[in-house]
Amino acid sequence: MTGREIHLVARPAGAPQPGDFALVETDVPEPGDGQLLVRNTWMSLDPAQRVRMHAGSSGYLPAFELDRPLDGWAVGTVLTSRAEGFSEGDTVLHNLGWRDYAVVDPASERPPQLLHVDADTPDRAYLGPLGWSALTSYVGLFDVAELRTGDIVFVSGAAGAVGSLVVQIAKVSGHIVIGSAGSAEKVAYVRDTLGADAAFCYRDGDVGELLRAAAPDGIDVYFDNVGGDHLQAALDVLRVKGRIALCGAISSYNASEPVPGPSNLFNAVAKGLTLRGFLARMYVHRMDDFRRDMQRWLADGSVVYAETVIEGLDQAPAGFVDMLAGGNVGKSIVRI
Amino acid sequence: MTGREIHLVARPAGAPQPGDFALVETDVPEPGDGQLLVRNTWMSLDPAQRVRMHAGSSGYLPAFELDRPLDGWAVGTVLTSRAEGFSEGDTVLHNLGWRDYAVVDPASERPPQLLHVDADTPDRAYLGPLGWSALTSYVGLFDVAELRTGDIVFVSGAAGAVGSLVVQIAKVSGHIVIGSAGSAEKVAYVRDTLGADAAFCYRDGDVGELLRAAAPDGIDVYFDNVGGDHLQAALDVLRVKGRIALCGAISSYNASEPVPGPSNLFNAVAKGLTLRGFLARMYVHRMDDFRRDMQRWLADGSVVYAETVIEGLDQAPAGFVDMLAGGNVGKSIVRI
**Residue numbers in A near B271 (CB within 8 A):** 59, 277
- Option in A249, A269, A282 nearest B246 (CB): A269
For residues A74 and A123, what is the distance between their CA atoms, to the nearest angstrom? 10
In sequence order, what DSSP letters do the residues of A288-317 get, joined into one string? HHHHHHHHHHHHTTS----EEEEESGGGHH
Which residue on chain A is closest to B263 by alpha carbon? Answer: A260
What's the pLDDT tens digit per position in A204-258? 999 999 999 999 999 999 999 999 999 999 999 999 999 999 999 988 888 888 8
- Option in A227, A260, A282 nearest B272 (CB): A282
Q: Which of B78, B73, B80 has the alpha carbon at shortest distance from B94?
A: B73
How many interchain CB pairs under 8 A, A with B?
117
3-state DSSP of A160-215: EHHHHHHHHHHHHCCCEEEEEECCHHHHHHHHHHCCCCEEEEHHHCCHHHHHHHHC
pTM for the model: 0.95
- pLDDT category at A56 given cuts 50, 70, 90 is confident
State the smallest CA–CA distance between residue B244 and chain A in angstroms. Answer: 10
For residues A219 and B302, what is the distance between their CA atoms, to the nearest angstrom? 43
In sequence order, what DSSP letters do the residues of A88-119 get, joined into one string? TT-EEEESB-SBSEEEE-TTSSS--EE---BT
What is the number of other CB atoms lying within 10 angstroms of the CB of residue B229?
18
Q: Quick check: B234 and B246 in contact, CB under 8 A?
A: no
State whether residue B269 sits within 8 Å of chain A by CB.
yes
Residue ranges of B 22-51 with Cβ closer than 8 A to chain A: 51
Average pLDDT, chain B: 95
- The ipTM estimated for the assembled molecules is 0.94
Q: Show the CA angle centred on residue A103, arms to residues A100 and A104, nearest 5°.
A: 115
What's the pLDDT tens digit per position in A265-279? 999 999 999 999 999
State whether residue A267 sits within 8 Å of chain B by CB.
yes
State whether residue B174 sits within 8 Å of chain A by CB.
no
Tell me the one-letter amino acid at A114: L
State the smallest CA–CA distance between residue A227 and chain B in angstroms. Answer: 9
State whether residue A274 sits within 8 Å of chain B by CB.
yes
Question: Do B261 and A263 lie within an 8 Å CB cutoff?
Answer: yes
Per-residue pLDDT of chain B (336 residues; tens, 9 = 90+): 999 999 999 999 999 999 999 999 999 999 999 999 999 999 999 998 999 999 876 666 789 999 999 999 999 999 999 999 999 999 999 999 999 999 999 999 889 999 999 988 999 999 999 999 999 999 999 999 999 999 999 999 999 999 999 999 999 999 999 999 999 999 999 999 999 999 999 999 999 999 999 999 999 999 999 999 999 999 999 999 999 999 999 888 888 888 999 999 999 999 999 999 999 999 999 999 999 999 999 999 999 999 999 999 999 999 999 999 999 999 999 999
For residues A103 and A81, what is the distance between their CA atoms, to the nearest angstrom? 10
State the smallest CA–CA distance between residue B257 and chain A in angstroms. Answer: 9
Question: Do A266 and B51 lie within an 8 Å CB cutoff?
Answer: yes
Percentage above 90 pLDDT, chain A: 92
What's the pLDDT tens digit per position in A67-88? 999 999 999 999 999 999 999 9
Q: Which of B241, B265, B281 to mutate to test the interface with A (most CBs of A within 10 A)?
A: B265
In sequence order, what DSSP letters do the residues of A227-269 get, joined into one string? -HHHHHHHHHHEEEEEEEEE---GGGTT-SSPPPB-TTTHHHH
Q: Give phi and psi for B69, each to the nearest 5.
A: -65, 145
